[in-house]
Structure formats: structure tokens, C-alpha cells
Amino acid sequence: MTNSWINFWIGHTPKHVIASEVCAHVLFDKYKFPVYRHAAYFKDENTTNPFSRTRFTTPLLDDDLSDSDWVFYCDDDFLFLNDPRVLLRELDDSKKVYVCKHDYTPKTETKLDGEIQNTYERKNWSSFMIFNKRKFDLKMSDIFEMSLMDLHQFRWCDDKEIGEIHKSWNWLVGEYEEDPTSLNALHYTLGGPWYEEQAYQSKYNDLWLEYKDQYFPEAPPIYEGTNSYRLP
């Protein structure tokens, strides 16, 4: 294989197609990333997120697509305001994974879908990850045998192997109260504008709606199995 481009994988929630569509279109159209969506789901207890577990297969799946050392992943409720490639300049190849190391307690006890809002150490660290494919040593069987908590709390690697990304790249809309001087990516973790009247009301909702109207001025798209966006 001679393809060395760096790919971006995102989660995909079937009942909120527009979220992953907007996330993917911004990454593809604005920043020229090849984008792939996790379309295979695995049902776990205590979560309604269809890609809670499959996100950790990203480095393994990407090996069949690119020879690059690194691969990006994010949840589908992200909106990137700047090119994530700038982060590549700071990566240390001794790390297995890079994340934004949030330290917070969710403000809500339930999610918009009515499910319990689980609170645990290192919550939302796994919502945006840059994997080092050369250091990642989990097998597919490991990923599906480990507990979700072990996966999301990064018990599959030493603390020293977890690099840190500034939280401006995973800004938890509604959870962080301070007004930042600059933002690189918005994470609508409390519910983005695609929830309509149930959405968390934020000043950043209009920005997401602008991109939605730019790419999808009519009705939201119907998902028909298009899992990837590739450069010509």
C-alpha cells in the first residue's frame, strides 16, 4: 500500500443523520480530509451510543486504507472551526493516543434521549482521539471483550502513553462556562441544534445551523449507506 494520507473517522447516529453529515462535510469540504463513518454498531448495556465501542476499532480499520502513522476520530456532534492537521506538528510518536483531558462533572443527570447521564473518570476523553497506529496494540477481539469503562478510561494503555490536546479542540458546549479567546472545535455534548426544540440553547447553535444550511438548505439528508467522503 502506498496511500499515506491521514484519514478522519467519525461516529454515526442513525436517528440523527444530519449531525454526522454536517461534521463530515465540514471536514471534507473545508479541510480536505478523507472522511469515514463508523456504520457498524454494537449494542452495549448502559448506553444508547451506537459507536461507544466501535470507535476504538478506528486504527485497525484504517490500516486497510492508509499507511499513515496517525488517524483521527471524533463523535458526530462536533463542528471543527480550524484544521485539525495543525495538531500533527505537536505529536510525539512515543504516545499511543492523544485526547483532550477533560476534568468535569456533567451538569445534567439525563441525556436528551431520556437515558441516564453516566458520570465517570475521564468522561469525554474518547470523544476526540488521535491514534498512533504504530503503537496501538489492541486486537479486534480485545476491543469487543473489554468492558466499555476500561476502554473509555484508557486502561488499555499507561498514563504516560496518553498525550494531551488543548481543550479548545473539544470545547464542551454548555459544560464550560468561561468565554474562550479562541476555539478550534465545538462539541455539542448536551445536545446540538439537530434536536430542535430539545436542543441545549447555546450561542454556538447558530454557527452549526449556518453550516447545515450551507450544505443542506432543504430537508435533512436520508442516510443511504454513504460511509465515506474521498478527495477526487
Rounded Cα distance, 80 and 194, in Å:
16
pLDDT digits (tens, 9 = 90+) for 37-79: 987 666 666 666 778 899 999 999 999 999 999 999 999 999 9
Give residue 13's pLDDT: 85
Question: What's the longest Cα–Cα distance across the chain?
Answer: 48
Least confident span in 12-16, 69-73, 109-113, 179-183: 109-113
Give residue 80's pLDDT: 98
Q: Which CATH architecture has domain 8-226?
A: Alpha-Beta Complex (3.90)
pLDDT digits (tens, 9 = 90+) for 154-171: 999 999 999 999 999 999
Give residue 200's pLDDT: 87
Q: Decide if 105 contacts 133 (C-beta within 8 A).
A: no
pLDDT digits (tens, 9 = 90+) for 93-131: 999 999 999 998 887 765 655 555 677 889 999 999 999
The pLDDT mean for the chain works out to 87
Chain CA centroid to CA 142, Å: 21
Confidence tier at 221 by pLDDT (50, 70, 90): low
From the CA atom positions of the chain, what is the Rg in Å?
Answer: 17
Residues pairing with 185 in the sheet: 80
Rounded Cα distance, 9 and 37, in Å:
6
Q: Over 50: is that where the pLDDT of 176 sits?
A: yes
Give residue 231's pLDDT: 45
Q: Over 80: is that where the pLDDT of 28 sits?
A: yes
Domain-by-domain residue ranges, the chain? Answer: 8-226
pTM: 0.90
